[in-house]
Amino acid sequence: MATYQEKWKKAKLLFKTTAKVKKPSAEVDSFFRKPAGLDKTLGKLDVADKKGINLKVEALKEFETAYKEFLVAKTSYLKVLEGAVAKVPDKVDKVAYQKGVKVLQTQLIALDTSLKTAIKMARSGHAGRKGMEVMADNLMDLVESSCNAAMAWVARVEANPTPEAFNGSIQKYARDITQNIGNINKLTQKGFVFQKAQPDNLFTILKAWGNDGRRVPDKAPREHVLREVNAFEQAVEGVKKWAA
């Protein structure tokens, strides 16, 4: 599994290859050149995570401290990206640039929810909750995290709409969501109570990609790939609205 820092580096690389420029960086009265500090804070999170935040209280505290630093850097850089969308550099393809910016934006949001969920689950465990109890306590956070990870992947495919990019990971991102929403009924049968009923219609739609082998042809044109990833995105948005 990729580390938090590796996920961010991958997003930055895709931005560069998509927009053909270096990633936007903050500077006084400008959008460029000053490091955002995200790599450093994500590196701290990876170090703490490797120490075992689910097993060691001190590792969790270290992780939480690094997460606070991440939030500051993330919030600052999202503002930079919002401005960057409207301030496309000269001689740069506007559409490609904006797609690249979206890759960075969605990856930051996905990282945030993933980190937040990791903290909540670790806290549940340290509070004495076990197995299914931890899952039930944090199920809606897990749904949100899997949806935001899927949206970050959608942005990456939109920036590089090839059959390989779509077919290579669609099963993972669809199944991550169906496993989480599919646990509503399973946990309810075990006596856990949720405020929302399982969204069976959305489960069935996503199951086509996650379990039933729905893919695009190996030589599908980019337009076909974009239509398919848009269909997946609509299903993910449906889950996000259900979970909100």
Give the C-alpha separation, 201 to 204, whole Å: 5
CA dihedral for 201, 207, 213, 215, sign (positive or negative): positive
Tokens (6 digits) for 229? 């990833």
CA-to-CA dists, residue 103 to 55, 106, 109, 182, 229, angstroms:
33, 6, 10, 28, 14
Question: Residue 157 is encoded by which pair of tokens?
Answer: 């495919």
pLDDT band at 144 (very low <50, low <70, confident <90, very high): very high
The owner of tokens 């580096």 is 9
Mean predicted lDDT score pLDDT of the chain: 93
Q: Map out the domains of the chain with their CATH numbers.
A: 1-128 (1.20.120), 155-244 (no CATH)
Q: Alpha-carbon distance 117 to 80, whole Å?
A: 25
Is residue 49 within 8 A of residue 118, CB to CB? The reply is yes
Q: Region 181-193: what's the mean pLDDT?
A: 97
The partner residues of 26 in beta bridges, in order of sequence, read 34
What pLDDT, in 10s, does the model give residues 214-232? 999 999 999 999 999 999 9
Which residue type does 13 have? L
User: Tell me, what's the pLDDT at 35?
Assistant: 54
Q: How confident is the model at residue 25 (pLDDT cuts 50, 70, 90)?
A: low
Q: Does residue 128 have a pLDDT over 90?
A: yes
Pick from 105, 57, 117: nearest CA to 80: 105
Model confidence at 33: pLDDT above 50: no
Q: What CA–CA distance (Å, rounded) separates 35 from 28?
A: 12
